[in-house]
Chains A and B, each alone.
Chain A
Amino acid sequence: QKEVEQNSGPLSVPEGAIASLNCTYSDRGSQSFFWYRQYSGKSPELIMFIYSNGDKEDGRFTAQLNKASQYVSLLIRDSQPSDSATYLCAVMNTGFQKLVFGTGTRLLVSP
């Protein structure tokens, strides 16, 4: 079992819709959760991170954590074509600086 799993997609949504991206992790000791966006040919860009104590909203983005089920989700409201990218979920365990990345979900937002 991979430590961090994501559906590779593509996830296709129309412009203006809500895109919901999910990620599951295997280590119950995980404490910090990160979402990176990666455009084709570019480097990963941090867009959200949350700790084990709750959800977080930032503009059109909301990150939610379900520790009991060991999954993290990223909601993108009012999706725009410019949101089309691969979204990488990453998990960090307590006491370590190491991030374990999922393989990413490709999001396509059609005009």
Chain B
Amino acid sequence: DAGVIQSPRHEVTEMGQEVTLRCKPISGHDYLFWYRQTMMRGLELLIYFNNNVPIDDSGMPEDRFSAKMPNASFSTLKIQPSEPRDSAVYFCASSPTRGLSYEQYFGPGTRLTVT
């Protein structure tokens, strides 16, 4: 059974460019989360979806960030324009709803470097 899939695994871009990160959640999971991890701030939740609907985007740092989930098997996180301070590892995670079971399973992450 495939886990959460993310692409690309590494992205290097210049300041001002648009960056799109992609995620395929585990089949059957109805929650999807986007996180950002840096040494300084640790793991931060950016946004999460339930059944493809954005539920909480309070962690999105600013309007340069946007996320979509057009269907149950695909989500994107877009940064436009990118800035050096956006450099981080971005993780996607998914979770099923089984009673009280809310375990989140993480993808391998995308390491973003903005120069």
- List the interface of chain A (C-beta within 8 A of B): 32, 34, 42-46, 49, 51, 88, 92, 97-104
Contacts and interface: CB of A to CB of B under 8 A. Distances in A.
Contacts, number: 39
Interface in B49-63: 50, 55-56
Given A97-B95, A102-B42, A92 B109 contact: no
Nearest to B39: A103
Interface residues of B, number: 20
Contact of B43 (A42, A44, A51): A44
B50 A46 contact: no
Most chain A Cβ neighbours within 10 Å, of B48, B55, B95, B104: B104
Give the secondary structure class of B's interface: strand
Nearest to B103: A46
B100 A32 contact: yes
